[in-house]
Amino acid sequence: MIDVLERINELRRERGWTIYKLAEEAMVAQSTMSNMFTRKTLPSLYTLSQICEAFNITMSEFFNDNIAVDEETRLLASFRKLDEKDRKTVLALSEYLRKVAEQSKINQ
């Protein structure tokens, strides 16, 4: 059985987030997040879904830590949250990095 608060902490630490940052990313009140950890109370289903969304994972991925979160899925989820200008910037950067990688292979 999974320890929900420990799993949240694990995912939070992987990203280098504070509890405050997680609350901000999940759009959950700071007091709600703090109470979960200080009082050892479980989050509501809504709060947990907000936390999962902040981590760019599904509830299924949250509860099954044996499932590796697919990097492409996480990347696409993050990309979808961007506005059009930032999406164009990410695409341009991605294209640039791809070209640099190809050039590096040619020069080896």
Amino acid occupying residue 79: F
The 10 Å Cβ neighbour count of residue 47 is 19
- The pLDDT of residue 18 is 93
Q: Are 37 and 19 in contact (CB under 8 A)?
A: yes
Average pLDDT for residues 66-95, to the nearest whole number? 80
- The pLDDT of residue 65 is 58
Whether pLDDT at 96 is above 80: yes
- CB-based burial of residue 26 (10 Å sphere; 0-12 exposed, 13-18 middle, 19+ buried)? buried
* Whole-angstrom distance, CA of residue 76 vs CA of residue 10: 22
CATH superfamily of 1-68: lambda repressor-like DNA-binding domains (1.10.260.40)
Q: Map out the domains of the chain as residue ranges.
A: 1-68, 70-108
- 22 pLDDT band (50/70/90 cuts)? very high
